[in-house]
Chains A and B, each alone.
Chain A
Amino acid sequence: MPSDPAAVAAALAAVAPAFSAWRSAVAATAEEVRGLLARQAAGDGAAAALGSFAAGRIDVGRFVGLAVRRAPADPAAAEAMRRAAAVLSALAGAPAGEQCVVRVAAGTSMRDAVHDAWRRLGRAFGAAHAVGLVQQGRAATEAEEGLVRGLAPGLWTRRERRVAPPLVVDVAGADLDVGALLAGLDGGAKVVLLVSGPCAPAPLVRLVTPGTFVLQTSDPAELAVLSKVAGPAVAALVPEDAAAFVHEPARGPTLSTRLVLRRVPKGAGRGPVGPWSAAQQAEELAQLVALGATDVPALASVPGVPAVDDPAGRVATWLLGAVDWKDLG
């Protein structure tokens, strides 16, 4: 069940700055490669490049002969550059809605869908690499051609990861696979998950690491905060019965200052969701509460919580107690 267009729009707005940075870098690269190509072709387009004011006033042949530096022509190199330029121009020209939205068809692999998208967008980095190879005189090699076909996020360099393209992933809760994001969640990467249908209560908890911004919410308006995050960030728009929390690296040095729990659902772990067993769901929820140990709202009002000194322990005990173990058969 695809998410509603408003949610997609909110997600795209949240990743707009990241997309703009990515697109700018690709556009600038496309320009540079086009420039290199123009230099190789210098002479052919020189009359046009000098402009109409020069028509009849500058002898183009003499101008080119005397003043235009030409790169040595190598047809294979030029062809490879053109391939790279075409890839870069295409990527620079397409809007975010076309490039960055990944729709995971029900029952298919989110990992494949996400990695395909990253590989496809990574062609920009691949094309830039390819140009480098060509300039080192290694045109038309296997490596150069492969780079333009796709470059997996695992192969992106640190500087490339800083301008990584954002993704908006539209996925059913049952198909959610947060592990699929690990390969690209680095540098300046931004990922928004629009989760529909039944969903585990705290699927994003495994992504909480010191430098990664993690937001799980049911309010599309909250996604906007992503636009202000500098480092890697992932946000999931989840159904109302899942947990809501935010982990903001900029808020402080300790986990308890960074993680704010906004909602901890009561009825966690009623049954398996996708690959999550009820126990795993409870584990994740317990992990979430443990991470955000202090200052959990509304804990005191949870009935039936046994008296354990450590509040995280208290919640964990209660959560595990609430699991309906019968479903595990």
Chain B
Amino acid sequence: MSGDGCSLLGCGVEDEDRPHDMSEYAGAAARWCPGCGDHAVLTSVQRLLAEERLAPESTVFVSGIGCSSRFPHYLRTYGFHGLHGRALPVATGVKLERPDFDVFVVMGDGDCCSIGAGHWLHATRYNMDLTVLLLDNAIYGLTKDQTSPTTPQGFATKTQPKGSWLPPLNPLTTALGVTNASFVAQTAEWVPAHLYETLKAAYHHDGFSFVRILQRCPVWTPTIFQKAVKDSTSVEVLVHDEGVPAADLGRAFPNRIVHDPRDLHAARRLAEDTSRIRLGLLYRDPSAPRYEETRALPKHTAEERMRVLEAELDRYAV
């Protein structure tokens, strides 16, 4: 039961009593470069917060370090802009302490897939109810043009000027390979309708909802998805009753493939094949056990804790 052990103070105020529109969730003016995909994600997120009428005081955005990690500053919710690669442990702590909060995690590709990769695997396995956005522009942008784990092979950067030496890490197969993965989706910054629907599905999933958002960095990687942006037929949209709604995309994205997100093996096959970009929900398992439920403990009053302590002291008494 979510909300276990959370205080009733403030519960007397109905959510419905308050007006919620997007502007209410806007924090400081976003200072990303013009044309940065982060703007589109921010807009979608603000729309989601407004439509879901989330209480700003019980919504927390946790981020790491990088361009995308400025995200919380541009929202009028609570935010924790922490360490490079370490957003997930902080979010885990927040959610363990306050399971009633809506907790979002925003990471970049360096954050999630490189320095914080260990946390990523384990957070997937914990499967706490977090909405996790990987803003993947395949580059270290804030520090100006270093190769990231998702930089395409051969793509030249300042640290690997002859082109990235290694084939890029595939965040989707990685996520789908982790035990207890419960929600893995991919969307793209340049398809706002799909982006919004994906975020909404992720928010409504009870568990670790991992959304990889393909993005261009207008400064360092403006061309990486050029083909997909210009020619929407090179993109394949995953459709299914259980998936991300994509009816509105019909005309713009004619290539569709029916994929049942309950089928993990099919999801892995689709994720493995990087010959084309696929948008949609690859996998969802709402029955995967969630750590905050597995480990949920009823809150005790101070008096009860004192009784337990006395009993403990009795055990060790002479």
Residues of A within 8 A of B304 (CB): 27, 92-93
Interface stretch of the complex, out of A159-167, A269-277, A313-321: A159-167
The DSSP consensus for interface residues of chain B is loop
Residues of B within 8 A of A290 (CB): none
- Establish whether residues A24 and B298, one from each chain, have CB atoms under 8 Å apart when the complex forms: yes
- Establish whether residues A160 and B12, one from each chain, have CB atoms under 8 Å apart when the complex forms: yes
Please, what's the 1-or-0 string for A211-237, where 1 marks a CB less than 8 Å from any CB in chain B? 000000000000000000010000000
Query: CA separation between A32 and B1, bound complex, in Å?
Result: 21
* B3 contact from A23, A92, A93, A163, Cβ within 8 A: A163
Query: CA separation between A31 and B305, bound complex, in Å?
Result: 11
- Establish whether residues B4 and A20, one from each chain, have CB atoms under 8 Å apart when the complex forms: yes
Q: B287: shortest Cβ distance to chain A, in Å? A: 12
- Establish whether residues B11 and A159, one from each chain, have CB atoms under 8 Å apart when the complex forms: yes
Given contacts A30-B301, A31-B301, A93-B303, contact A24 B5 (CB under 8 A): yes
Q: Which of B20-76 contact A (CB under 8 A)?
A: none
* A89 closest partner in B (C-beta): B301
* B1 closest partner in A (C-beta): A21
Q: A88: shortest Cβ distance to chain B, in Å? A: 8
Query: CA separation between A150 and B3, bound complex, in Å?
Result: 23
| Count of inter-chain pairs, beta carbons less than 8 A | 88
Q: Which of A18-36 contact B (CB under 8 A)?
A: 18, 20-21, 23-34
Whether B7 is near chain A, meaning CB under 8 Å from some CB there, is yes
* B9 contact from A128, A158, A188, Cβ within 8 A: A128
Query: CA separation between A157 and B6, bound complex, in Å?
Result: 15
- Establish whether residues B9 and A131, one from each chain, have CB atoms under 8 Å apart when the complex forms: yes
Whether B10 is near chain A, meaning CB under 8 Å from some CB there, is yes
- Establish whether residues B301 and A93, one from each chain, have CB atoms under 8 Å apart when the complex forms: yes
Whether A132 is near chain B, meaning CB under 8 Å from some CB there, is yes
- Establish whether residues A24 and B12, one from each chain, have CB atoms under 8 Å apart when the complex forms: no
Residues of B within 8 A of A128 (CB): 7-9, 11-12
Interface size on A, residues (CB 8 A): 33
* A28 contact from B1, B6, B14, B16, Cβ within 8 A: B6
Residues of A within 8 A of B13 (CB): 132, 157
Q: Which of B1, B12, B303 has the most CB of A within 10 A?
A: B12
- Establish whether residues A162 and B3, one from each chain, have CB atoms under 8 Å apart when the complex forms: yes
Query: CA separation between A31 and B298, bound complex, in Å?
Result: 13
Residues of A within 8 A of B9 (CB): 29, 32-33, 128, 131-132
Whether A125 is near chain B, meaning CB under 8 Å from some CB there, is yes
* B55 closest partner in A (C-beta): A159
Q: Which of B276-318 contact A (CB under 8 A)?
A: 298-304
Whether B15 is near chain A, meaning CB under 8 Å from some CB there, is yes
- Establish whether residues B15 and A24, one from each chain, have CB atoms under 8 Å apart when the complex forms: no
Query: CA separation between A160 and B15, bound complex, in Å?
Result: 12
Query: CA separation between A89 and B199, bound complex, in Å?
Result: 41
* A128 closest partner in B (C-beta): B8
Query: CA separation between A30 and B298, bound complex, in Å?
Result: 14
Query: CA separation between A163 and B9, bound complex, in Å?
Result: 13
- Establish whether residues A26 and B8, one from each chain, have CB atoms under 8 Å apart when the complex forms: yes
Whether A129 is near chain B, meaning CB under 8 Å from some CB there, is yes
Given contacts A21-B1, A93-B304, contact A28 B7 (CB under 8 A): yes
* B300 closest partner in A (C-beta): A27
Query: CA separation between A28 and B170, bound complex, in Å?
Result: 43
Q: A59: shortest Cβ distance to chain B, in Å? A: 26
Residues in chain A within 8 A of chain B (CB atoms): 17-18, 20-21, 23-34, 89, 92-93, 124-125, 128-129, 131-132, 157-160, 162-163, 188, 230
Please give me the 3 A-B residue pairs with the lowest Cβ-Cβ distance, nearest first. Answer: A24-B5, A128-B8, A159-B11
Could you list 14 examples of A-B contacts with CB < 8 Å? A17-B1, A21-B3, A25-B7, A25-B299, A29-B9, A132-B9, A132-B10, A157-B14, A158-B14, A159-B11, A159-B15, A160-B11, A163-B1, A163-B8
- Beyond contacts A25-B3, A89-B301, A93-B301: 15 other A-B pairs, Cβ-Cβ < 8 A, are A20-B1, A20-B298, A21-B1, A21-B5, A25-B4, A25-B5, A27-B5, A28-B299, A33-B9, A128-B9, A128-B11, A129-B12, A131-B9, A132-B9, A230-B1
